[in-house]
Amino acid sequence: MRREHGTPRPDWEKTIESQGLAYHRAAHPSGLFRPYWDESVHYVFSLDEVEALEEQVGELHEMCLSAAEHVVATGRFADFAIPEWAWEEVARSWERRDPHLYARFDLRYDGTGPARLLEYNADTPTSLVESSVVQWFWLQDVHPGADQWNSVHERLIERWRELRLPPGPTHFAFTNVDETGEEAMTVAYLQETAEQGGLRTMAIAMEDIGWDALNRRFVDVEQRPIRSAFKLYPWEWMLADEFGRHAVRHGTWVEPLWKTLLSNKALLAVLWELFPGHPNLLPAYLDGPRELTSYIAKPLLGREGASMRIVTPEGAQETPGSYGQEGYVFQGFEALPEFEGQRPVLGAWVVADEAAGLGIRETTGLITDDTSSFVPHLIA
């Protein structure tokens, strides 16, 4: 694994915007010295490294499924801050194995040892367009003889073909709260892959989904029933909504309700309980840092690196944010590796239950947040 430099393509901004990364300016805070998409650098991996990472990601995913089985079997829903009225429905969703589509592991990896799990974004993962499409076209333009760990697009199409969804169109829902356009473009991309997989689709805003109390079903703005829907809208928000009690019982949602168990950072502590000392895990606890002298406190439902606290023998530092009311997990802290002053996080994609590809975000800080940049990669 190494970081190399290259010359950005002429008119690269227009190129990536035409490929779906239309939000790269709006999603990145202004005043930074580098853009969100940065093709002046890239990471290079050996084939052996990629094959090892692929195997580790597959094993981590299987471990996460085992953790979900454990939580359901032992009824540990309170550890995940899931409201009690939804416990039975989460269990039923898992027992039915309601259909799921994709997820993203965030990993610490420096090329010299096993990858370490930082968290699992299993409900509403983003950076998908840049991982699946934009960096692939960069590779074809700039390094046409090289390869890339990237079968995300093909696997998404195949997964849509495999899903057994109810009859009628599948609605693809984004939220009007999104001001950057990132979520809308992500949903549009996934809608396109679903159509290539043979599904009939319709776009809708989450705010435009209505509840037909007489017929006990969700409907769109034309009063058409919503029998299945992909939503880039986290389950914790849905469960806090007045319609949440209907959502857990009516309609087929992708991602399914059982993904609340994999998209919650309490998962990290359960994994450490079930697989203590596993080389791909960092120690993690729900009741405090215990023996850890260096740790990071993560809110169970936090996003974009907000509301975190790093504690080491040298001192402590925090990130701003309003998360944490739901509780924290305390995870052993290992600083991200440093390459030329930048610290990368590997985003390893899983489609269905198979490792599918890689996206990399890097920043100068210890915590990856909305100031980080996405950089492409290739296999030597």
Per-residue pLDDT of 348-367, as tens digits, reads: 999 999 999 999 999 998 88
Alpha-carbon span 140 to 53, nearest angstrom: 23
CB-based burial label for 314 (10 Å; 0-12, 13-18, 19+): exposed
- Region of poorest pLDDT, from 31-40, 168-177, 184-193: 31-40
Per-residue pLDDT reduced to its tens digit, 68-97: 999 999 999 999 999 999 999 999 999 999
pLDDT of residue 303: 83
Of the pLDDT bands very low, low, confident and very high (cuts 50, 70, 90), residue 369 is: confident
pLDDT of residue 29: 73
12: helix, strand or coil: helix
Single-letter amino acid code for the residue at 250:
H
What is the value of pTM for the model shown? 0.96
Alpha-carbon span 50 to 259, nearest angstrom: 27
Give yes or no for residue 295 having a pLDDT over 80. Answer: yes
Structure tokens at 359: 């996206």
Give yes or no for residue 107 having a pLDDT over 70. Answer: yes
Kind and range of the H or E run holding 47? helix 47-74
Alpha-carbon span 218 to 227, nearest angstrom: 8
Percent of the chain with pLDDT over 90: 89
Give yes or no for residue 190 having a pLDDT over 90. Answer: yes
Give yes or no for residue 132 having a pLDDT over 90. Answer: yes
Fill in the DSSP letter of residue 166. P
Q: What is the mean pLDDT of residues 107-111?
A: 97
CB 122 within 8 A of CB 255: yes
Q: What is the mean pLDDT of residues 16-42?
A: 87
Per-residue pLDDT reduced to its tens digit, 302-326: 888 889 999 999 999 998 888 999 9
- Region of poorest pLDDT, from 95-99, 181-185, 191-195: 181-185
What integer best gives the mean pLDDT of the chain? 95
Strand order in the sheet with 170-174: 201-205, 170-174, 228-231, 252-254
**How many Cβ atoms are within 10 Å of 316's Cβ, its own excluded?**
9
Per-residue pLDDT reduced to its tens digit, 219-242: 999 999 999 999 999 999 999 998
- Region of poorest pLDDT, from 61-65, 315-319, 335-339: 315-319
**How far from chain centre, in Å, is Cα 314?**
31
Question: Which position has the token pair 């405090």?
Answer: 288
Give yes or no for residue 208 having a pLDDT over 80. Answer: yes
Of the pLDDT bands very low, low, confident and very high (cuts 50, 70, 90), residue 27 is: low
CB-based burial label for 287 (10 Å; 0-12, 13-18, 19+): exposed
pLDDT of residue 371: 82
Q: What is the mean pLDDT of residues 209-218?
A: 96
Among residues 352, 287, 355, 300, which one has the least CA distance to residue 327? 300
The residues that bridge with 170 in the sheet, in sequence order, are: 201, 228
Among residues 56, 37, 23, 160, which one has the least CA distance to residue 101? 160
Structure tokens at 74: 């032992």
Q: What is the mean pLDDT of residues 289-314?
A: 94
Per-residue pLDDT reduced to its tens digit, 240-253: 998 999 999 999 99
CB 317 within 8 A of CB 367: no
